[in-house]
Amino acid sequence: MTARHVGPLLEIKGIKTHFFTQDGVVKAVDDVTFEIGHGQTLGVVGESGCGKSITSLSVMRLIERPGKIVAGEIRLNGENLLDKTDADMRDIRGDQVSMIFQEPMTSLNPVFTCGDQIAEAVQQHTAVSRREAMDRAVEMLRVVGIPDPKRRAAEHPHQLSGGMRQRVMIAMALSTDPDLLIADEPTTALDVTIQAQILEVMRDLREKNRMAIMLITHDLGVVAEMADEVVVMYAGKVVERADVRTVFGSPHHPYTQGLLLSIPRLDERRERLEVIKGTVPSPLNLPEGCLFKRRCPHRMRVCDTAPPYQEVGSGHFSRCWLTPAGEAPDVGADAEGEEAQHAAEQLTVGAR
Amino acid sequence: MATYIIRRTLQSIPILFGVALVSFAIIQLAPGSPIDRFRTPNVRPETLENLIRLYGLDQPVHIQFVNWITAFVQFWNVEAWGYSLVDGRSVRDTLVDRMPATLLLGGTALLVTIIFAVPIGILAAVRQYSWADKAITTFATIGYAIPSFLLGLYIAYLGTVVFRGLFPGFGMVSLPGTEGRGTPLDVAWHMVLPVTSLAIQQIAGWSRYVRAKMLEVLNQDYVRTAKAKGLSAAKVTYKHALRNALIPVITLFGLTLPGLLSGAVITETIFSWPGLGLLGVTAVTQRDYPVVLAFVMVGGFGVVMGNLLADILYGVVDPRIKY
């Protein structure tokens, strides 16, 4: 990079990624906005199907038909990725933005050696010889804590365990010193002790490389350990966004509250774990107004109108009608139609 | 790997023995006898009895089998496979003579098949549901559904009648006295129609198979990883996906090989191609028992070898398989 861009590393503004299926349009990502600063870690949290993976694939521009990014901007260092040609985008992928995936067992190509696959990424983005790229691959395997990296580089993926393979994926992703690492559920498929090791590796490298991480997960424990800021997604929308302390300390959105209550805790005795009642609405049949209302314990009449995305604290945003203090809103909990819509707009404008 | 090959080769011996047993039984059960063609009013019964004794047909069946199989395994002897009842030639020599024509035809057809089927299959997979894919699917369905005797006749008709003898419809070389008879060019010219006929059927099957495997592989996580690395679409398709998609195609290769050895019976017959297939058909119609048995055995040998070769190739191309 020549001129260092001032401002956030990644700005996502109002992106909509829709899938045009035979049964109708699935709004997998619907008007999502957030940014990630240089060297920051953002946790993106939500249930399966909430659009968090599609958001990350949108940033990589790896959305395949019938999916399409229909609106919004994705700015990396100030440049809109959606305006890039395919060739320019390929130069960014794997170089400035790298990605690791949930399934280490199947994410590596079985017919090439681990070293080859890392070296391929290096050679794709830097003008080095094959030998130099291979040396870099071995070096990266050492960095991610793989013992005897030279021997491992010559091995095929099936000769490695799941944790080792995820380390190889991380080594591949980081071999080009990316500004942003997108990690899509990097530890979900691994057992707990290996999870901790992988997170350790990621934390270590984040410090060393001053790299930003977009960490997609449904594991709030991982978020608490890794993230600076948190975005909570529900049915394709961001429902709450705040720094990690605020999200865990004083969550505003009833969905976030529900998520936190459903984690078992060691310091409390509880007979039963709270669960969020009901299920995620079908993406083809989303409710009017608030998408969470059918499962929400605070449901009001006004929830039939799309709720405002309001600032409920400093840098703390929530897509809910409840006041910052968590009470029924002044506009009248039973407001309807235009009156409610107007109120929502006012509150949202105040937030942005 | 070497021990694996040796073990598999040894294992194929009992299989070949089974093939021999079944082939022999079928010939035994078939109506008619090798001496039937001598049965005319002019031949005396004593002569027939002498013939039966001469051929060993008076022996019990199991003795006949043992006699035959012990002779048959000595393939290095000219007389091991007996003599043709029709022209009296050594069966082994006849088969050896016919083999090059069959290998030439089958090998060329296989080569043409691979050259066309792999790119066609890839195209259909990469552009799934496009008009190209639909056209390929239509072609493949027709090519696969049409019986080879019909397809062969159509192609013979096309080459000889519609295009007014642009390509010859029978034989491997031009008629005696023609200039340039037997040159490579002459043989190639004669190969056009039979190769086309064989290749169309095989391309139909192979391209579907490549398409299916390619589609399966293109949805794999490692293809997404390759894209996320910033590789070009060509590298993703031809390096990361194709390499994996072609591994199972080896199975098809193994299945095609026996046909290559024993000849495409129908196609060779239609185009009078002087290969093993035509020899086999002629032998069956003439009740030339030694030739039929040898022909069936060569076919069985081809199947066993094809499978063995396919299994060995798997070990070579797929790093996950170690013997």
Residue B91 in domain: no
Q: How far apart are CA A118 and CA A137, in angstroms?
A: 5
- DSSP line for B19-31: HHHHHHHHHHHSS
Chosen from B218, B224, B225 to mutate, greatest number of chain A CBs within 10 A: B225
- Please check whether residues B102 and B59 belong to one and the same domain: no
Residue B27 in domain: yes
**pLDDT greater than 50 at residue A2:** no
Angle ∠(A81,A86,A88) on CA atoms, nearest 5: 65
Domain residues for the domain of B28 are 2-72
Q: Mean pLDDT score of chain A, rounded to an integer?
A: 88
Give tens-digit pLDDT for A240-285: 999 999 999 999 999 999 988 888 777 777 677 777 888 888 888 8
Give the distance from residue A124's alpha carbon to the nearest chain B alpha carbon, in angstroms. 7
Q: Which residue is listed with tokens 């530890």?
A: A187
Q: How deeply is A18 buried, as exposed, middle or buried, from its count of CB atoms within 10 A (0-12, 13-18, 19+)?
A: buried
Residue B88 in domain: no
- Please check whether residues B11 and B137 belong to one and the same domain: no
- Please check whether residues B185 and B150 belong to one and the same domain: yes
- Please check whether residues B228 and B112 belong to one and the same domain: yes
Give tens-digit pLDDT for B220-275: 999 999 999 999 999 999 999 999 999 988 888 888 888 776 768 899 999 999 99
Q: Do A111 and B231 touch (CB under 8 A)?
A: no
- C-beta of residue B108 within 8 angstroms of C-beta of residue B101: no
- Please check whether residues B167 and B37 belong to one and the same domain: no
**pLDDT greater than 80 at residue B205:** yes
Give tens-digit pLDDT for A306-327: 898 999 988 999 999 888 888 8
Which residues of A have a CB under 8 Å from any CB of B? 60, 62, 90-95, 98-99, 101, 103, 106-112, 120-121, 124-125, 156, 158, 169, 172
Residue B78 in domain: no
- Please check whether residues B42 and B181 belong to one and the same domain: no
Per DSSP, A82 falls in state G
**pLDDT greater than 70 at residue A333:** no
Q: Do B247 and A91 touch (CB under 8 A)?
A: no
Angle ∠(B310,B312,B315) on CA atoms, nearest 5: 110
- C-beta of residue B275 within 8 angstroms of C-beta of residue B102: yes
Number of domains in chain B: 2
**pLDDT greater than 90 at residue A97:** yes
Give the distance from residue A98's alpha carbon to the nearest chain B alpha carbon, in angstroms. 7
Among residues A27, A15, A5, A1, the alpha carbon closest in space to that of A285 is found at: A27
Per DSSP, B239 falls in state I
User: Tokens in use for B282?
Assistant: 């002629």
User: Which residues, 6 or more positions from A342, have their beta carbon under 8 angstroms from its beta carbon?
Assistant: none
Chosen from B213, B217, B219, B222 to mutate, greatest number of chain A CBs within 10 A: B222
Q: Find the Cα–Cα–Cα–Cα dihedral B83, B85, B91, B95, rounded to 10°.
A: 170
- Please check whether residues B45 and B128 belong to one and the same domain: no
Q: Do A110 and B222 touch (CB under 8 A)?
A: yes
Residue B85 in domain: no
- Please check whether residues B20 and B106 belong to one and the same domain: no
Chain A residues touching residue B229 (CB < 8 angstroms): 93-94, 120-121, 124, 172
- Please check whether residues B199 and B296 belong to one and the same domain: yes
Among residues B27, B89, B35, the alpha carbon closest in space to that of B57 is found at: B35
Enter the ipTM: 0.86
- Rg of chain B's alpha carbons, rounded to an integer? 24
Q: With an 8 Å Cβ cutoff, is B216 touching chain A? A: no
Chain A residues touching residue B220 (CB < 8 angstroms): 106
- Please check whether residues B59 and B106 belong to one and the same domain: no
Confidence of residue A1 (pLDDT cuts 50, 70, 90): very low
From residue B16, how far is each of B13, B73, B191, B298 by CA, in Å? 5, 11, 32, 10
- Please check whether residues B67 and B204 belong to one and the same domain: no
Q: Do B244 and A109 touch (CB under 8 A)?
A: yes
Q: With an 8 Å Cβ cutoff, is B9 touching chain A? A: no
- Please check whether residues B285 and B176 belong to one and the same domain: yes
Q: How many pairs of residues across A and B have Cβ atoms under 8 Å apart? A: 68
